[in-house]
A and B are shown apart, each in its own frame.
Chain A
Amino acid sequence: MPDEAPPATGPQRPLPEQFTAIARARPERTAIVHNGHEIGYGALADRVRRAARRLGPRPGRVPVDAVHDPETVVRLLGTWLAGGTYVPIDPAYPAERRAAMLAAVEPAVLRQAGEPAVLRQAGEPAIPRQGGALAYILFTSGSTGVPKPVLTSPAAIATTVGALRDLFGITPDDRVLQFASLNWDTCFEEILPALTAGAALVFDDDAYAGSFPKFVRMLERERITIADLPTAYWHELVNFLVEEDRRLPATLRTVIIGGEAARPARLADWSTLDTGRIRLVNTYGCTETTLITHAVDLCGPLATEAVDWSAATRVPIGRPLPHVVQRIDDETGELWIGGPAIADGYAAPDLAERFTRHDGQRFFRTGDRVRRRDDGVLVHEGRADDVLKIRGVRVDPGEVEAHLAAHPAVGAVAVAGLARGDHTILAAFVVPRRSARTETAAGTGTAAGTEAAAGTETLAADLVQYLKGRVPAHLVPSRISLVAELAYTPSGKVDRRRIKETLA
């Protein structure tokens, strides 16, 4: 397969500059709506400048408690304005995980952005960077059990944000929902195109309440025009609209989905409801490629996919955005992504093998296998490895296995994804260490009687508690099954596929 032509998009101005220029031009316009309370661009820019001043010049890596609040946006932009690197960390994560993340990024500033920077680490940062600070460091799941820090440059994020403003067609009249958790990069798709285009960014507690009646009323009350939803959540929204015969407000003009494969059946439902008028954009991208790299209009005025979704088996992930260079490996079908928006790499050098060079260009090997249709649209065909998407978040089963294997009562373990309705749940299959089995079950290897059942339930519950103390909630399996033995491939690796078929 020949490589795509290099993109023609020019370099973008730094994002903090773009934001302050918009704020100067339109200080009275609404930048953020927070539960009905409006913050103007001028007021927001003042808060951002104050946060930057408190950090001081070149503050290094700035860990920020990423909570659903406009203050997190102030700290993000303030960190950038000061020339620092934003490191969002979820305060709900276990202390051990937070400590591992902080150790991995070696923050120069050990205080929150927006507070006085009193503690500075002496010496050079572990990963010196040519040409200035990184924009942000985010973590993805790694098979070793340690989170992988991904290093992203200001140029990379500015390039993607420029492309997304074009893709979404954002104008100052738009009201963009802030839905994604603020410690994932998806939130940048909402925050940055909006605040560099003069649009309003809407935070509303009813969006995160887990109640679709509240969610739909919120869309109407806040006159949301653009909503970016995880595909798994969108599936449930479509189910709700069908079952309750509900409609979405006429003000909603664009819905962006992404994070995992969209189900053709939900798309068939959506296109036959009155929602068929809404622009529905399916998107694809990785943290390492900086947000979205591929997109396609599935429904609505710009739809190019004129197909009967009820008969389709796969939903395409789209064409490369103008800034994206793609390569599809001839032998494996793996998608490689290059261009100005790919990350600098991982903080740990031993993980560098996914970033590679080809014909003088840097590429990120995504691990996703794709097929290129004649019209240039890519269709996702599966993974080249066992990495899963759980509620839109990338999960390496090896990471969960590494943590479970460290528990004294665990002999062997395999982690896999199981289909449950429209989405995938994380399941662990654990062979208890022989000495840890309950007395009634020991010796025979079969669960005999209620005592053994109670014993296995206790161990499964113990393992859940053990994991909750070490890893974020999305890495804790929804189901832990205690089994007598696992299946292995001829080469001695855990055979996740056969385990799913025989034990699930």
Chain B
Amino acid sequence: MTTADITADGTGEITEVTEIFRRVLESPDLAPDADFFAAGGDSLLATRVLSAVARAYSVELTFDDFLLAPTPRALARLIAGGDR
């Protein structure tokens, strides 16, 4: 990992990942437990989230990873556990 601020349980990432979701979905009130796809996201918008995550944390996730962790909280946990 080249970018710092990755905490063991993902709490540090939840705020930032929620912000990424909000920006991509143009939904300023989105909650950390909101499902990306239920909130209007699709596979193309998901690539924007994954690009933003790659930039912020130098963690390259795939669409399949994202399908298993489609909320900011779950994705933050995945990033924090990110040994990929």
Which A residues form the contact surface with B (CB < 8 A)? Answer: 208-214, 232-233, 236, 239-240, 243-244, 391, 420-421, 423, 425, 461, 464, 478-479
Contact = CB atoms under 8 A, between A and B. Distances in A.
Contacts of B1: none
B45 interface: yes
Contacts of A208: 63
B38 interface: yes
A479 B40 CA distance: 5
A232 B44 contact: yes
A425 B41 CA distance: 9
A391 B44 CA distance: 8
Nearest to A423: B44
Given A233-B44, A243-B55, A244-B51, A211 B38 contact: no
A236 B44 contact: yes
Contacts of B9: none
A240 B48 CA distance: 8
A214 B48 CA distance: 14
Contacts of A244: 51, 55
A244 B50 CA distance: 13
A240 B63 CA distance: 16
Interface in B36-68: 37-38, 40-48, 50-51, 54-55, 60-64, 66
5 contacts: A211-B60, A211-B61, A233-B44, A239-B51, A421-B45
Q: Is the interface of B mostly helix, strand, loop or mixed?
A: helix
Given A211-B54, A213-B60, A420-B26, A478 B41 contact: yes
Contacts of B60: 211, 213-214
A478 B50 contact: no
A209 B64 contact: yes
A478 B43 contact: no
Given A210-B63, A420-B40, A464-B38, A243 B51 contact: yes
A334 to B, nearest CB: 29
A213 B42 CA distance: 19
Contact of A239 (B40, B42, B43, B48): B48
Contacts of A213: 51, 54, 60
B40 A214 contact: no
Contacts of A239: 48, 51
Nearest to B46: A210
A478 B47 CA distance: 16
A274 B42 CA distance: 29
A36 to B, nearest CB: 18
Contact of A209 (B48, B55, B63): B63
A211 B50 contact: yes
Contacts of A210: 43, 46-47, 50, 62-64, 66
A421 B23 CA distance: 11
Nearest to A237: B47
B52 to A, nearest CB: 9
A212 B61 CA distance: 10
A210 B51 CA distance: 9
A214 B47 CA distance: 11
B54 A478 contact: no
B72 to A, nearest CB: 17
Interface in B1-49: 26, 37-38, 40-48
Given A420-B26, A478-B37, A478-B40, 15 more contacts: A209-B62, A210-B50, A211-B51, A211-B61, A212-B47, A213-B54, A214-B60, A232-B44, A236-B44, A391-B44, A420-B40, A421-B45, A423-B44, A478-B42, A479-B40
A211 B43 CA distance: 11
Given A209-B62, A213-B60, A391 B43 contact: yes
A461 B51 contact: no
B45 A420 contact: yes
A171 to B, nearest CB: 32
B56 to A, nearest CB: 12
A107 to B, nearest CB: 30
Which of A210, A213, A236, A425 has the most C-beta atoms of chain B within 10 angstroms of its own C-beta? A210
Contact of A211 (B41, B42, B45, B63): B63
A395 to B, nearest CB: 12
A392 to B, nearest CB: 10
Nearest to A205: B62
A201 B40 CA distance: 35
A213 B52 CA distance: 11
B32 to A, nearest CB: 17
B46 to A, nearest CB: 6
B69 to A, nearest CB: 13
